[in-house]
Amino acid sequence: MSLEKLISVARGDATADLLLTNARIVNTFTAEIEDGNVAIHQGRIAGIGEYNQAKKVIDLRGRYVAPGLIDGHIHIESSLLHPAEYARAVVPRGVSAVVTDFHEMANVTGLKGLRYLMDCTRPLPMDFYFMAPSCVPATHLDTAGAELGPEEIRTALRWKGVIGLGEMMNFPGVIHNDPGVLQKIKLSKNKVLDGHAPGLSGRDLNAYLSAGIGSDHESTDFEEGREKLRRGMYLMIREGSSEENLDELLPLVTDKTYKRCFFVVDDRTCADLLQKGDIDAVVRKAIARGLDPIRALQMATINTAEFFRQHQVGGVAPGYIANLIVISDLSRLVVDMVFYRGKLVAKDGEALFSTTRHTDPGVIHTVTVKPFSIKALKIPAAKKSLPVIEVVPGQVITRKIDMEAKTEGDSAVPDTERDILKLAVVERHRASGNIGLGFVKGFGLKEGALGSSIAHDSHNIIVVGTNDEDIVAAIKEIERLQGGLAVAKGGAIRGSLALPIAGLLSDEPLQTVVAKLEELQKIAANLGCSLPHPFATLSFLALPVIPELRLTDKGLVDVLAFKLLD
């Protein structure tokens, strides 16, 4: 970009590349609507006002112009999509930028996986702001495929496009001065430090924040969110596919607090992305709940940009990057056109750009399971009462409950009448033979089993089932596919979706992946599953950094005590 030429266009002495006329401009700085023209040159906004010289003129006829939306925290891997297909899903909806750490890929393949995904994003017509994944593995309580220590973090922080340290999930390590954790934080000095602090309050929260961590997306109730705001955190209001916190937290957004709040999705399925949207869906829901549309846009643009120190996006102003959306209905956020760096890249919900998907030998063939017999799934009935993971609908947290075990001989077994199902996590990175076993309540399955190689954060194979035969069948299918989702019944596979890229991502087009996922969810529903997103819910049951009870390949984890149960 020629700065001199941009200034000349701004003065009106040179011709702009593009002129958007008769626009109603959403001013995210002052929360106003302005009438005027927007002059764009070499991917930047040159000026707003009375401009009439341009190589191309688009008359907006009174439609709104707003900055492109920014998703402040998302794990793209949870969409199951190659980054190229992810872009095809979200760009037409007005998403111009995302903040991501590719934490899931890093847990499977380390730095080489990070580089692969980062390279995949380079040609795409949206901005990716990368965070170095801080917790690979997330804890010592499970087995990951890679480890990123301080030296690896130092390397990642030097890469172009990496703006900070990703969510610091090891909050016990911060609070108790773990040397390795603190070294990663020290290496990130003068960069953005993103947080992850479920349920932290009081002195523990103070200790966590004293390390310089600035944000949190794990608040699930009003009081938790309010305390974090009071202590100086930016409140990320999360609304994902299986983590729905907007209704609880939106009342915290007031004239006094809104600048410290912004929207994120964290995890969203490909089906939701295609049919409902990404951060645009969160904006629409917030507006439907009574939030002023301009304020909702501020919380999906300028607020996010300012927290992540990206001061040339998030507004429609001279010198800002021309990532813009044209909106015909502000109250329903109907996006008609999307511009990326001044180029029209989507119109009427359709992408106007082409993409290519490629894989790398370093991120495939990542599933290696040590052979085991069905007897390895036996849970001894040593006690009358056993700990059970209880799913909380619409939330990522779980509850730890104790329930009387149903027994057959000397084994504890699933009890479909009480919705108590067996849960198994099989280590798949090192063929260690580790198999964690437990019980879960909340899926509603009456027969069969559901399995996945997506199991946050270490991504071992996780299966929920009504019987051991179907659990084994699902595990074997995922191993055969070298990663994926599977549904078994009667010892046979009733449906599957291959995820050959690190066992996390498909190499197929968006619509194909969505169709296969929806078919699997339909099969699961026919087996009695009552959850709308069973595979998304299943993927979080192995996450040992979210309260209260989880299962990893090493066994049941009491997250509040941060230890394995006997």
Q: For the CA atoms of the chain, what is the radius of gyration?
A: 24
Contact call for residues 475 and 424 (beta carbons, < 8 A): yes
DSSP class of residue 313 equals S
Whether residue 137 has a cis bond before it, omega within 30° of 0: yes
Which structure tokens are listed for 215?
A: 């944000």
What type of residue is 56? K
For 23-61, letters b (16+ CB in 10 Å) and e give bbbbbbeeeeeeebbbbbbbbbbbbbeebeebeeebebe
Angle at 552 between CA 499 and CA 365, to 5 degrees: 30
Q: Residue 146: its pLDDT value, please?
A: 96
Backbone angles phi, psi at 516, to 5 degrees: -70, -40
Q: What pLDDT was estimated at residue 560? A: 87
CA dist 553 and 423 (Å) reads: 11
Q: How many CA atoms lie within 13 A of 233 on its CB side?
A: 30
Q: Which residues pair with 21 in a beta bridge?
A: 59
The SS3 assignment for 107 reads helix
Residue 396: beta bridge partners?
none
Q: Sheet of 549-552: strands edge to edge? A: 549-552, 555-558, 563-564
> Buried b / exposed e across 240-275, counting CB within 10 Å, b at 16+?
bbbbbbbebbbebbeeeebebbbbbbbbbbbbbbbe
In the chain, what are the domain boundaries?
Answer: 67-306, 364-564
Q: How far apart are CA 84 and CA 68, in angstroms?
A: 18
Strand ranges of the sheet holding 385-391, from the earlier edge strand across to the other edge: 398-404, 385-391, 435-441, 420-426, 461-465, 449-452, 484-489, 492-498
d(CA 417, CA 438): 17
In the structure encoding, which two tokens stand for residue 378, read together? 């036996």
- Structure-block tokens of residue 288: 């439907």
Q: What phi and psi, each to the nearest 5 degrees, are found at residue 360?
A: -135, 140
Q: Does domain 67-306 have CATH number 3.40.50.300?
A: no
pLDDT along the chain (566 residues), means of 10: 93 96 98 97 96 95 98 96 97 98 96 96 97 92 95 97 96 94 95 95 97 96 97 97 92 98 96 96 98 98 98 98 98 98 98 91 96 96 90 90 93 96 98 98 98 96 98 98 98 98 97 97 97 93 93 95 87
Q: Compute the residue count for the chain.
A: 566
For residue 283, give the nearest of 305, 267, 261, 308 by alpha carbon: 261
Are the CB atoms for 246 and 221 separated by under 8 Å?
no
Residue 405 DSSP code: P
List, for residues 119-137, the tens digit of each pLDDT value.
Answer: 999 999 999 999 999 999 9
Identity of residue 289: R
Q: ∠ CA 280-285-288 to the nearest 5 degrees? A: 130
Q: What is the structure's pLDDT at 304?
A: 98
Give the contacts of 114 (CB within 8 A, at least 6 positions apart). Answer: 102, 105, 106, 133, 156
Task: To the nearest 10°, report the CA torsion of 509, 268, 463, 410.
Answer: -170
Integer Cα distance of 60 and 37 in angstroms: 9
The residue among 250, 252, 278, 276 whose CA lies nearest residue 264 is 278
Rounded CA-CA distance 442/534 in Å is 10
- 283 residue type, one letter: V
HSE at residue 424, side-chain half, CA atoms within 13 A, is 32
Q: How many CA atoms lie within 13 A of 103 on its CB side?
A: 27
Could you tell me which residues come within 8 angstroms of residue 151 by beta carbon, excluding any fewer than 6 positions away? none
133, 101 contact by CB (below 8 A): yes
